[in-house]
Amino acid sequence: MATLTNATAAAAAGVPKTAVVKPLPFISSRSLSFPSFKQSISSFKSLSLTKFPTLSPLECSPNPSPSPSPSSLKSRLRGGETLYGIFLLSFSPTLAEIAAFSGYDFVVIDMEHGPGGIHESLQMLRSLTQTNTPAIIRLPESSAAWAKKALDLGPQGIMFPMIDSAKDAKKAVSYCRFPPDGIRGSAHTVVRASNYGINEGYLSNYMEDLLIMCQVETVDGVKKVEDIAAVEGVDCIQMGPLDLSASVGYLWDPGHKKVKEVLRTAEKAVLKSDTKAGGGAFLGGFAMPNDPPEELGKRGYKMVSGAVDIGLFRNAAVEDVRKFKMSLNAGSDDDEGEDDKDSDEKYWSE
């Protein structure tokens, strides 16, 4: 059977001669070359920037030079700011978003007392991305395994509970650093902390922005708090008023005089450390009904946490029910219409 030429085949198919295209050369599987993901991004970014007027050359740089971020928690603390944050125990991404849009300087994702774990913490971090709100993950316990999994998610800070000595603090710092400076397990080529390996400068500056916080929550910890604050790598001492009150013997009375005395002793010891000289630690704490956030700020706390998401919702819900129950008892048919109008106006004004 005769073989049709390109022109003959085209004519038979009704295609004009001018549309005939030369046959493609044979391509073997060996000759196929697929660009890598990074090469594809590089090729895209090499296109004329006039087509993408919102991009600047700096924004198109895949590997910015490593340097500490001026907006990081560590930079702001070193600049003398007092930061205000909230603890998130519900592990609700929606409440995390609300907290971020509300303007908190930082949030603490609490794996110690909240029901969530690593997977839930990841969802919380993603919900905070839009506002670039710094997140600190509080570990359920001070261990290398928990620290490794939390740090791989890429939080800006990590909080270690129940640190009672300088030895405990040194271990905590070692959990955050790769060998030979520490014992953190390495998967930096694929984890979220390094933008899944896209940030090639991660190893050069991963410690610059990471805030390491050690919680002092017992009488033993208070006795050694000055030594803990002096450990190289410890950035902040976070006081734990409830556990401290329990350690002193007044679990139900964190405002007891003896608890206050122990707390003040710890505060003064931390404040003695010289953070401006590159050593020492900042003071952080959680406000209590007997010790509001503004008082912590006056006493030299630089990281003040004033609320818990669950507590805020609980208080609002209890008050909402209380108001409704009281309105049933205090209301009358005569002023029912006026009350409805006032309630409607109040609702929309809120």
Q: Which of 130, 137, 134 is nearest to 151 (CA)?
A: 137
Residue 134 near residue 74 (C-beta atoms within 8 A): no
d(CA 149, CA 120): 12
Catalytic residue numbers read 113
Residue 205 near residue 66 (C-beta atoms within 8 A): yes
Residue 82 near residue 104 (C-beta atoms within 8 A): no
15 bridge partner residues: none
Q: Which of 159, 162, 160, 282 is nearest to 218 (CA)?
A: 162
291 to 31, 162, 254, 297: CA distances (angstroms): 72, 21, 9, 11
SS3 state of residue 128: helix
Q: Which of 246, 258, 188, 193 is nearest to 217 (CA)?
A: 246
Q: Which of 212, 194, 186 is nearest to 62 (CA)?
A: 194
d(CA 96, CA 119): 15
Residue with tokens 């895949």: 62
What token pair was written down for 290? 């007997």
Neighbours of 94 (CB within 10 A): 9
